[in-house]
Every structure is written in structure tokens, then in C-alpha cells.
Structure 1
């Protein structure tokens, strides 16, 4: 299968052979999404059939979990082909999950008793003694607290983002509200970062795609998160790129030990030590900037002049802290923000570049569109909105290869009975299958990457709004759906478009001969080859992007 993730049935076809590089990369996306969409292991017996249940006399979940990791797509495909509108149950590497069909997405999208934030409250109650935490869950390795080991130093950033956290206030309110004001700074940083990272070399040369894009996205994201003072700080960029993977793999290593040994073992494991070092290093980088800004503000007040204004997340966190009267940890908040923003954006941008490399005929049409829009409106939020073909291209790549094959993860905070009689016991995990994204009844020729698919849909009466990249539907769960849809999707969409505009107008790229662009599934995570390289060069007819 090629990099477009072609599907011949509900969930498509893909490779199921996992090499050593696939597992760590899948950890990124599992970790990133689970920080908000939290999993736990329910103890109540479910009334939905399991598609990878344990066999009689089988004492552990090892075999069904392995089956899930290797065959999740196939298992869900077989079930929903035979039972299009019936839920099923699946044993995953993080416990049992009730997988609902897309037809139930609207029913649960805003259900008050199905929440992804409730479990984070339980995690807070479980630290440090865990006495108020349900013992049935506490003693497993399937809760968020155990999975991310958040009660141990070094894993603290993964505990950010609870329902009442300052971090979520910043993501939901400031990051989206300030989009118009951060568009131009993002564009400026993208231009500078591309020249530094992709170079001005006008001869074809190879780059490691994922590593290069990760560094690029980390830098331009940091322009908004940390301002000009730190967005080019290489020490910070290394931390923000590596903390998530290191934290996940360290937690994975720690879980190999019995729970009663972990309070001691974590002090000696190299990965845990590195996670603690990264948090301390992040604090040493960020705190001086906060202190300096406080001094400058106090000085301005004393001199009777306007205080300096900062348009970045450092300032937003400070203001949110004052507004709520709640203390926060700047380093942990920034690490959490980077974790949920950088790796997911890198993944989607990489897939778009691969798809465009396979369809070079679309590239010139995109260049025409972005030139026209920028010449008319410059770098504005509205300009990005008017890049409708570009929007369609990104959404199509996300349709074919989303971050996960099942989205809208929830936890039942009460017993729930859905309209079809499906019973979801309190404490159970749920998710919605994304297979409608490859359903021919919804998307004609679903295996085909069609750059104009969503552009045409926008032109249909009543579909202008639902066909945009940031829109969510049961038929397209790339950003989830409902009130818990990805809150940072508006920023991510703008950031990806800005990156693509610069790449389109200033660079050319292509796939090396024989490049492996196949997709490997690890559980519900479809992964593009992490070792993929691109051939790239600076365009001879460079375009002035200052406008």
C-alpha cells in the first residue's frame, strides 16, 4: 500500500509488519491523544461482544493485546462490515474499550455522562497515596495514572490538561482567540526557520522528513508558545521535541516492574532520570524570561508608561493564573502544550508532503491559489481561510491517514444506556470507529487521494461549513467530534497552512526513487514510515513572502 493509505474496504488495507522504528513513533501519538482522551480499565462486565476476547482458561490478556496491536484495523473492519451499526468491545494495550460505530457519534458527542476529563480528576485524587482511587483500577497498569506514571517526578507534564487546568484555559481560549494576532508572527518565523533548517541549497539533496519537520514545527510553534526570546533556543527545542518520547518510553520501562517497586526503581532508571532532567532544564530556560517580564512591567508601572504587551503563551499562562487565582508550573504547562501540538502537526504535515509528492500536478494549482490570496490580503487569518484548495488538500490527507483508527475516546462517569440499548457501565472506556472516512457510500472512490474532494463539497448547498479542515463530523473524525473535539485544531490548521505556503512558494520536493511510503498500523495508530526521506531544493524563482 502506498502513502495515501488506500482502502479497499471499511478500514482499508495496510501492512501489519512492525519494525523497531514503528513502535516508538506510535507511542508519540498514543501518548499525545491519551493525555486528553483518557483510557482506563473498567471492572464491570460489558454486554457488547468482544472481537479479540480471551480464550477459555487464558489467564492473561497478553495474546489478545498482541492481536490488537497487530490486527486492530482488520478486527474492526471484519466486525463493522458484518455489523455496520453495532458496537463491539476490544481488549487493547490499555484495557477494554467499547468501540462504537460512527452512526452513534452524534448521540455521544456531547453526552454529559461520557467524558474524557473525568478520569484526570481521579488521577489527581490518586496522588500520591492513591487511597481514594478505586482499588480495582489502581492495581492495574491500564489507568492513566499508571500508564503515564504521573505520580512520579519526571512524568509531571503528562498530568497537565485536567478539566480545570490553566493549560486547557489557554488552549481553549487564548490560543484560538489570538489566531488573528499570531498569524503574521507564525509566517515570519516559518520563513526564518525554513532558511535555517531546510537551507538555501538549490541543488537536490535528501533530508530525513520526520526529524526535519519536527524541528521546523517545534520552532514555529515555540514562536507562539514562548515568544521570540526562546523560539530559537536550541536547548529548548531539543527538550520540547524529545520529552514526550522519552517520558513515554521511561514509563513503559517503569511499568515492567511490580507496582510496589516503582517508588524506588524510578529513581534509578536512566529514562526517568532524563525526564526529570528535562523538566528541570525547561524550568531554567523559561523562568528567567517570566522574571524579566515581571521586572519590565513593574518598571513601566512605576514610570507611568504602558506595560509591554506580549502575544505568546507565556503571557497567556500568567494572565490565566491571575484570573483564576491558581498557581501553575510554567515548565510543565509549556511541555504539555508542546506535547499535544508539535508531534500531531508534524505527522499531518508530513503526510501532506508525501501526498503532494505523489501528485505533483496539484502543486502548481496550489501555488497559484496562495499567490493570489496573499497578494490580495497578505498574512491574515482570513487569507488562510480563503486558501480553499489548500484546505481541501490537508483535509483529504487527514481523511485517508488520520492519527487514529478510532476517535472520540470517552469514559463513562455513570451507567449509560444508548438509544439502541447498548449498555455502557460506569468506568468503561468508549471510542468511535473512524471507518466512515473510507466508506464509498460517504466518499466516492475512498481509496483515491482527491485534492479537490472537500473543495467540491464546500460548493454544495449547506456543506460550506462542514467541509472545512477544522470542521468535525461522524464521517470525518480527524479532530474528534463534539464539545471535546481537539481544542487546538484551529491553531494547528493555520500553522500547517502557513508551513505549506512557505514550502510551496520557496521549495520543491520529491520522493526518492523506490521510497517506502507504506503505512504500518500499531494498534489503532496508522504510521507513515518514520525513516522516510525527501529530496528537496530551494526554488530558483523565490517569492517574497513579506507582502
Structure 2
């Protein structure tokens, strides 16, 4: 018996090595297949970027081009096909090709039922959510859309003072209070803790949001999700459960550290529900607590059939990480982009003066409490400055993207039939940069949307949260981002304080955003010089 164990242990390294080699070889073959594959799409749909080779070699060329030159492919496809009301195939090496519809077919796309075309599946696949978010998938339906819609958005008015207080405290710390000397700041690296603190202040209260260890853990965790997702996407589906833990090992360490802060709070709250003096199962909290843990419990109790798994502390904690990612990362990118857009515009000083005057005028109005929902809704120039930045420099290229889930596939308006599993949608980037939609479309015009558009014979400013056929930074239709109202509140409060309290030294050239497949990263290491204004 001992000799058998010795043989097993001796051969283990060889078996492991052979398994890894086989997995890598299979992955390599899968990537080669992807490069040349038609993805079972009909031959009448043209592929962009194939050049003169409208065959497997052309597809290989376009797939490889999508790795570093996706923007060029989008520009080519929009000019050659979309503007001529034609559908085309956009090669997308990391997650498979996308069928891009012309703008005239947006209505058809949004009319399709969720059991025919699913937007949620595209979002999950884009982030490889089954492997990037730990334990959250023990429950079928994600919790954060419901919590955002039914808890956070409805209660935003309760958090406006907290958000303003946290913005001011964070800016004092990261941008300083010196009114004499200019200070050089890394914009992204300062916006990350500022937005993290705002979000955590709302989700978990003042104590945790002022804990630098906790906010640093949350900030570092959300930075790495997209990179891990991209790496996992390269592998065939049957290998993802095995390679996922490898690429997310550092995320898992951060998640466990984050969980160590949350678990005592969760356990205390659950213990209260089990007290013998509680006569019935209820989600009503006698202390009136208004935080993520209570929202999660309320959500679980609101189900027609209570699922015990939703009371698992691991599930509650892991769902916090999903909510934090959704709330923090996109807002950090948006605010970073907006600050650089303003600083690089020829009207930098004038724009800041206009924003400052708007904040002061509304704050001095006796009918409006500073930074309240009512006050923020009247700050149309802040809305416009952020909306224009999202239009020009959004964080993803897609506007609406869905996945065919109907087993029989779906027939497009042009008669093309695409199979189950195909992604089909609209490119928001292309529409946002169309001169027909936005004159001088490649220029940042801070108050483009404050000047408004014609509605019922009147010029009405366009709010940051409003989506349309030509503004899809939050997607569009029934699946528009549910968190955009919270995002707008924290972004407007943060940018309003920056304009009110700081001068920003103009820069001659805006740093270029980096494209990473479908992600568009803001300037991550570049700096600006700022100085506290004398009030």
C-alpha cells in the first residue's frame, strides 16, 4: 500500500504538468478557432475590417485588429454601413462578434422581450460575473438592481447631506486646503477614494466610509475586476470554473478582507431577527436603519417565497461587493474624464466660473436647501458638463447590447436570421460622435446640453440621467442603468464642490483615453494642478 501512495505522490507533478499543458493547448486551439470563425452568422452580413479578404483570412485580420483598434473598426462600420441603414458584424475577439444594427432599428431592438433578447446576460458575460463576484451567484437573480430601484433611488433625498459632507471632507484631504500654492494631483487616484467614500457613506454609514483600510480595499477591488474578466474570457467555457479562481486570487483576498469588516454587522443584524421577543418574521427595523444590510434583508423578506440562502452572511457580503463595483467604478471614470475635459477645453476658466455661479445662485435661494435633490435638479450646467463628458468620453463603447436567448434564434428587420447566443445591438460610441446628432461632435462643449433641445416649442435642458436614441451612456429603454440617479447625485455634488472650491490650471492637450477591448479607460496616471480658492 505504501508503494502505491509513493507512486501516486511521485507522479502527481507529472499529472499536474500534463493537465496544465493540455488546458493551455485546448485554449490555444480555441483562440485560433475564434480568430477564423463565422460564429454561425449568415453570410449576407458584412464583417467590418476584413479589407479585400472577405473570407476566413479577412475575419482573422479583423479579429486581431479588434484587440487594439476597435475604435477604428467602429468608425469604419458606422460610416460604411450604419449611415447607409445597413447591419454589419463587429469583430470582438475577447467575447465573440457583435451584430451592430443601424440607428433606425433601435425601436425594434428595445421592443424585443427579455426571453428573446437579454441585456442582463451581456452585462454578466462582459464582466464574467459568475467568476469575478464571489458567492453572489448562489442566488439566481442579482440583488443590486432591485435594491437600487426600490431602496437607494427612492431614498436619495435622505442622503444628500451625507454626500455633501463626505465630498467636502474627502476634497480637503486629497486636494488640500492651501489657497496659496498650486498642488499637483493624480486625478484618477484622488477621485477613486473620494467616490469610494461617498458610496460607502451611503451604503454603510460614516464609520466605515472614514475607515481608510476599508475604502482602500473596496477601491482596489473594483479596479481589477475588468482585467480579470478579460483574462477569463479568453478561455473556453468549460475551463472557466478552473481558471477563474487563478485570475481572481488577488480579488478574492481583497474580498475576504472587505468581508471581515461586514460580517460582524451582518451577524448582529441577523441575530436581532432571531431574538425570542420578535413575535413574527418581519423586515421592519425598529431602529429605522437605512443601510445596505437592511436593504438586503428587506429585499429578501419582500419575496413571495422567502429564500433562506438570501440570509446567508456570505451572500449578503458578496452582494455588497457587486453593489460597490456598480456604484464606484463608473462614477470614478466619469468624474475623472469630466475634470480632464474641462481642464483641456479652451473655456476652462469660464466653465468653472459658470458652474460656480450656478451653485452659489441656487444655494443662496431661500427656497432650496444646498445640495438637496431639488437644488441639484436645478443645476443644469453641472448636468450638461457631465453629460457632455459621458457623450464624448464614455467608459464603454456599446449603447444597447443584447444576447439572443430564444432557442430558435431571431430574425432581424432586414430579414437576416441570427442564431441563439449571438450578441446584437447598437454602438453608443458611434452615435455619440455623429456630426448629424452633435455638431462639432469631437469637441467638448461643456454646456451643449444646458442650451437644451426643442420640446413642445420650448428649449429644455437635458438632464444627465435622461437617455434617448442619440444618448446611450446609461443604455436606453427599460434596461437603462438603474443606478444613474444615484450616480448623478454624487457626480453633481462632487463636481459642484470642485468648481466652488478649486481653481484648475488649464492644460493644452487632453490625455488620450485608452481602449481595452470594449472598455475605455480614462487617464489613469496623468496629473493636474489645483489650488483651493480664497472664499
TM-score range, shorter chain: 0.7 to 0.9
Deviation at 1:119, TM superposition (A): 6.6
1:528 corresponds to: 522
**Greater Cα offset, 435-444 or 55-64:** 55-64
1:132 corresponds to: none
CA–CA distance in structure 2, aligned partners of residues 418 and 299 of structure 1: 57
Residue from 45, 48, 57 that aligns with 2:45: 48
2:278 matches 1:284: no
2:424 matches 1:430: yes
1:16 corresponds to: none
CA–CA distance in structure 2, aligned partners of residues 82 and 256 of structure 1: 29
In the TM superposition, 1:493-508 aligns within 5 A as 493-508=488-503
2:364 corresponds to: 375
Query: Does the 8 Å contact 1:407/1:433 carry over to 2?
Result: yes
CA–CA distance in structure 2, aligned partners of residues 343 and 539 of structure 1: 28
1:537 corresponds to: 531
Deviation at 1:516, TM superposition (A): 5.0
Runs of 4+ that moved beyond 4 A:
53-63, 157-162, 250-267, 293-303, 462-466
2:326 corresponds to: 340
CA–CA distance in structure 2, aligned partners of residues 448 and 262 of structure 1: 42
Q: Structure 1 338/61 Cα, relative in aligned 2: closer, same or farther at 3 Å?
A: farther
Deviation at 1:436, TM superposition (A): 2.3
Q: Structure 1 251/354 Cα, relative in aligned 2: closer, same or farther at 3 Å?
A: closer
CA–CA distance in structure 1, aligned partners of residues 455 and 262 of structure 2: 48
Name the SS of the counterpart of 1:117 in structure 2.
helix
2:8 corresponds to: none
In the TM superposition, 1:116-515 aligns within 5 A as 116-118=119-121, 148=128, 150=130, 155-156=133-134, 159=137, 164-202=141-179, 203-250=181-228, 252=230, 269=246, 271-293=247-269, 307-324=286-303, 325-326=306-307, 327-328=309-310, 329-357=315-343, 358=345, 359-376=348-365, 377-378=368-369, 379-414=371-406, 415-434=409-428, 435-458=430-453, 460-461=455-456, 467-511=462-506
Gap regions ≥5 residues in structure 2: 1-36
Deviation at 1:198, TM superposition (A): 2.1
Name the SS of the counterpart of 1:207 in structure 2.
strand
Query: Does the 8 Å contact 1:183/1:380 carry over to 2?
Result: yes
Query: Does the 8 Å contact 1:206/1:533 carry over to 2?
Result: yes
CA–CA distance in structure 2, aligned partners of residues 482 and 251 of structure 1: 26
Name the SS of the counterpart of 2:456 in structure 1.
coil
Deviation track 1:454-509 (CA, whole Å, cap 9, x = no partner) reads 12225653677782211111111111111111111111111100101111112222
Q: Structure 1 157/69 Cα, relative in aligned 2: closer, same or farther at 3 Å?
A: farther
Deviation at 1:265, TM superposition (A): 6.2
Deviation at 1:159, TM superposition (A): 4.7
Q: Structure 1 119/254 Cα, relative in aligned 2: closer, same or farther at 3 Å?
A: closer
Query: Does the 8 Å contact 2:504/2:530 carry over to 1?
Result: yes
Query: Does the 8 Å contact 1:396/1:450 carry over to 2?
Result: yes
1:518 corresponds to: 512
Q: Structure 1 219/57 Cα, relative in aligned 2: closer, same or farther at 3 Å?
A: same
Q: Structure 1 228/537 Cα, relative in aligned 2: closer, same or farther at 3 Å?
A: same
CA–CA distance in structure 2, aligned partners of residues 501 and 465 of structure 1: 21
Deviation at 1:75, TM superposition (A): 1.9
Deviation track 1:205-239 (CA, whole Å, cap 9, x = no partner) reads 11111011011101101111222231122222122
CA–CA distance in structure 2, aligned partners of residues 476 and 345 of structure 1: 17
**Greater Cα offset, 375-384 or 64-73:** 64-73
**Greater Cα offset, 361-370 or 252-261:** 252-261
Deviation at 1:385, TM superposition (A): 0.6
Deviation at 1:366, TM superposition (A): 1.2
CA–CA distance in structure 2, aligned partners of residues 421 and 255 of structure 1: 31
Query: Does the 8 Å contact 1:389/1:455 carry over to 2?
Result: yes
Q: Could you say which structure has the larger radius of gyration?
A: 2
Name the SS of the counterpart of 1:230 in structure 2.
helix
Deviation at 1:201, TM superposition (A): 2.5
1:12 corresponds to: none
Cα RMSD, aligned residues only = 3.3
Deviation at 1:294, TM superposition (A): 5.1
Name the SS of the counterpart of 1:225 in structure 2.
helix
Deviation track 1:1-28 (CA, whole Å, cap 9, x = no partner) reads xxxxxxxxxxxxxxxxxxxxxxxxxxxx
Q: Structure 1 419/507 Cα, relative in aligned 2: closer, same or farther at 3 Å?
A: same
Deviation at 1:424, TM superposition (A): 3.1
- TM-score w.r.t. the length of structure 1 is 0.77
Query: Does the 8 Å contact 1:106/1:482 carry over to 2?
Result: no
Deviation track 1:297-347 (CA, whole Å, cap 9, x = no partner) reads 8889789x9821122222211211222223331221111111122111111
CA–CA distance in structure 2, aligned partners of residues 529 and 169 of structure 1: 32
Deviation at 1:352, TM superposition (A): 1.4
Q: Structure 1 114/540 Cα, relative in aligned 2: closer, same or farther at 3 Å?
A: same
Name the SS of the counterpart of 2:207 in structure 1.
coil
Whose relative contact order is higher, 1 or 2, with alpha carbons under 8 Å and at least 6 apart?
1
